[in-house]
Amino acid sequence: MTDIALWPAYRLAEAIRRRELSSRELLEHHLARVERFNPSLNAVVTLDPDGARRAADAADGALARGAPVGPLHGVPMTIKDTYETAGMRTTSGHPEWDHVPERDAEAVRRLRAAGAVIFGKTNTPTRAADWQTFNPIFGTTNNPWDVSRTPGGSSGGASAALATGMTALELGSDIAGSIRVPANWCGVCGHKPSWGLVPQRGHLPPPPGALAESDLGVMGPMARDVADLEFMLDILAGPTELSAVGWRLELPPARASSLGELRLATWLDDADYPVEADVGATLDAAVAALSDAGARLVDAKPPVTLAELVGLHQVLLYPLMDPTSTLSHRQWMSAHERRELLRAKMADYFRDVDALLMPITGVPAVKHDHHEPFIERLIPFGDENRSYFDLFGWVGLATVAYLPATAVPVGRTAGGLPVGVQVVGPFLEDRTTLTVARHIERLLGGFTPPPGYT
């Protein structure tokens, strides 16, 4: 029988509403799993059990009184430590930003308003700026499939906690694959929303107190189940308080509901950013299974190369991450115009294609490597080494062009490491990528817990 800590969050919420489980009971169960599994993983780095117990008891009391409740009422979860959490330590892995906020980040506020019981924070690299998760405050997070490897970054603690049932849901963020890479390497699900869907206020970086929305970065859900991604996105998405005076969000429905109606293209390998044979074989098998199940596969390559995407991604990203950047506003505007041309081309591309299936990384989870500067790190690739910056290769399209991308597991390598695929879709058509991911999940089995964590 599946441990309740591995149930989808929507099912937990239903069980709490039906009084089959209490919020307090479920919270204690998750806290016990943290106590049991976290020492070897270091995924959950801050806990507030007393505050969470008060919130869980209040949730149970509200149900007993027959009070109206939100969709996440009583469900316990953790939050990536890049989000400000009122009364709970927040660091983004950076000693200069270590503080206890008085106010929740807007995305966190929305989750609490929906009834979530937040009991802890998960680890992230310093200032969320790495594809591995370690920092000088909390140390290194390990991958539950192989503790000698990283879970990915920057939502590495989040993905490891999800994979091991230490949390029901997670709130990630993504500016260069930070939701998708950890989801891929830990075998869980993640959704990088279209840029601008979820307010950024209270996310670090930028530094605490910043109000301006950052380019490229998005806030998004992570879960073990695609239905939970949809469930959580409905809670998170919407205009900021200031914009809500005149703006409303109404995402279009998925372009089609059946697999045979959806036009799916694939881009599974590239000469500049090659995919390891084991990963490629897993992705090919997934596409073959889709074809056998009646998927409508179309031959359509995007109007851009990965090399072009990586160059543009780096030009737009570095001023956000590097305080010593000397990029002028004029130079940024030139890069922004190139981005807008790309967005127009991708809009045309998606007139004949509903979703594009792509690798997330060319390799499975890599061994821990904290060598600095990380530009000098290397990734073993067959009989050779590739640059660590190859990890930019497959994540850039969705980031640079503001597109939605849903990460979902599709299998494992011969060595037993998870492999996922990202479903990239048209701007603001997040429900289409989520629908395709749901079909993939149903067909290929979706999330499987790592050995020893059932």
Which residue in the block uniquely carries the two structure tokens 């479920």?
26
- Supply the pTM of this predicted model: 0.98
pLDDT tens, position by position, for the chain (454 residues)? 689 999 999 999 999 999 999 999 999 999 999 999 999 999 999 999 999 999 999 999 999 999 999 999 999 999 999 999 999 999 999 999 999 999 999 999 999 999 999 999 999 999 999 999 999 999 999 999 999 999 999 999 999 999 999 999 999 999 999 999 999 999 999 999 999 999 999 999 999 999 999 999 999 999 999 999 999 999 999 999 999 999 999 999 999 999 999 999 999 999 999 999 999 999 999 999 999 999 999 999 999 999 999 999 999 999 998 888 899 999 999 999 999 999 999 999 999 999 999 999 999 999 999 999 988 999 999 899 999 999 999 999 999 999 999 999 999 999 999 999 999 999 999 999 999 999 999 999 999 999 999 9
Q: What pLDDT, on a 0 to 100 scale, did the predictor assign at position 306?
A: 98
- Helix/strand/coil for 129: coil
Domain segments of the chain: what residues?
Answer: 4-243, 260-444
For tokens 């205009």, name the residue: 239
Separation of alpha carbons 5 and 284, rounded Å: 32
Would you state the pLDDT for residue 2? 83
Euclidean distance between CA atoms 243 and 412, whole angstroms? 43
* Cα(406)–Cα(136) distance, integer angstroms: 31
* Record: fold of 4-243: Amidase signature (AS) enzymes (3.90.1300)
Residues 6+ apart with CB under 8 A from 433: 191, 355, 404, 405, 406, 423, 424, 425
Task: Write out pLDDT tens, residues 323-345.
Answer: 888 999 999 999 999 999 999 99
Residue 404: name the closest of 435, 427, 438, 436 by CA.
427
* Contact (CB, 8 A) for 280 and 268: yes
CATH level 2 (architecture), domain 260-444:
Alpha-Beta Complex (3.90)
Instruction: State the catalytic residues.
Output: 80, 154, 178
Q: Peptide bond before 154: cis, by omega within 30 degrees of 0?
A: yes
Per-residue b/e over 38-61, b at no fewer than 16 CB within 10 Å? beebbbbbbbbeebbbebbbebbe
Let me know if 92 is exposed, middle or buried by CB neighbors in 10 A (0-12, 13-18, 19+).
buried
Contact indicator for 375, 410 with CB cutoff of 8 Å: no
Query: Residue 1: what pLDDT?
Result: 61
4-243 against 260-444: fold identical:
yes
